């Protein structure tokens, strides 16, 4: 009898493990993450409202950051790039999608409406595709290592700056070599700076139990 109960217990345990692994692989929506599952999509009210609220906060931060960049280095968006990538990473990690897109497009649309930058129109695809790129990497990795955050930010910054590069060429009329150098420098600075900030802030948020 004891042997039979033991076998049943093992069977249940194996079934539980199998179910968890099934959610990781075949479900298509989640992967194992810190003992939980990390969904690519979150459509609950908290995520959607939180994305909008932080999108407004993002607008205020970028208003200041872009003005600093305009004074220090007009053809580069260093401060604005780092803050953009940091916000994009954090919101995408916490609220997933479409929260990341909502936050980014809130900022982009306000930037267009207020004339924040002559490149503001290109923030719309940059913010959307940048968030999706970050989310795709974060969905596949546990995001518990520095390398994971670096790869996610690298994808985000390369995609986002590629969109803005089109604006540098079309709107500002910069030569192709200048566009390439400007985009590369901005992407590199954004990747390094936002990796450090996102990792540290996100770790603190998780420890606090807010994520």
Which CATH number covers residue 112? 1.10.1760
Residue 190 lies in a domain: yes
Q: Is residue 12 part of a domain?
A: no
Long-range contacts of 111-120 (CB under 8 A, 24+ apart): 111/59, 111/62, 114/63, 116/62, 116/63, 116/66, 117/66, 117/70, 118/167, 118/171, 118/172, 119/164, 119/167, 119/168, 119/171, 119/172
Domain that holds residue 172: 39-208
Is position 24 within any domain?
Answer: no
Q: ∠ CA 76-182-195 to the nearest 5 degrees? A: 75
Helix axes 45-72, 78-114, angle to 10 degrees: 110
Higher pLDDT, 19 or 54: 54
The domain total for the chain is 1
pLDDT (0 to 100) of residue 33: 44
Q: Is residue 115 part of a domain?
A: yes
Each residue of 3-43: pLDDT tens digit? 444 444 444 444 443 333 333 333 344 444 444 446 888 98
Residue percentage of the chain with pLDDT more than 90: 61
In a domain, 112, yes or no: yes
191 part of a folded domain? yes
- Closest-CA residue to 130 (of 187, 201, 206, 74): 187
Is 14 inside any structural domain?
Answer: no
- What pLDDT shows up at residue 211? 61
> Is residue 32 a part of any domain in this protein?
no
């Amino acid at each position: 009898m004891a042997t039979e109960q033991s076998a049943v217990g093992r069977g249940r345990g194996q079934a539980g493990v199998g179910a968890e692994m099934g959610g990781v692989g075949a479900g298509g929506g989640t992967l194992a993450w810190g003992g939980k599952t990390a969904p690519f999509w979150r459509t609950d009210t908290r995520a959607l409202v939180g994305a909008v609220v932080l999108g407004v906060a993002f607008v205020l931060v970028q208003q200041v950051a872009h003005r600093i960049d305009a004074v220090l280095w007009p053809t580069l968006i260093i401060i604005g790039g780092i803050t953009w990538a940091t916000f994009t990473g954090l919101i995408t990690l916490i609220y997933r999608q479409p929260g990341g897109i909502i936050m980014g497009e809130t900022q982009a649309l306000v930037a267009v409406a207020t004339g924040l930058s002559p490149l503001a129109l290109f923030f719309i695809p940059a913010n959307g595709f940048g968030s999706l790129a970050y989310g795709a990497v974060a969905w596949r990795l546990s995001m518990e290592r520095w390398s994971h955050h670096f790869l996610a930010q690298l994808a985000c910054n390369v995609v986002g700056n590629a969109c803005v590069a089109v604006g540098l060429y079309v709107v500002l009329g910069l030569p192709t070599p200048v566009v390439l150098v400007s985009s590369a420098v901005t992407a590199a600075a954004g990747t390094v700076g936002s990796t450090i900030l996102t990792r540290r802030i996100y770790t603190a948020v998780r420890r606090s139990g807010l994520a």
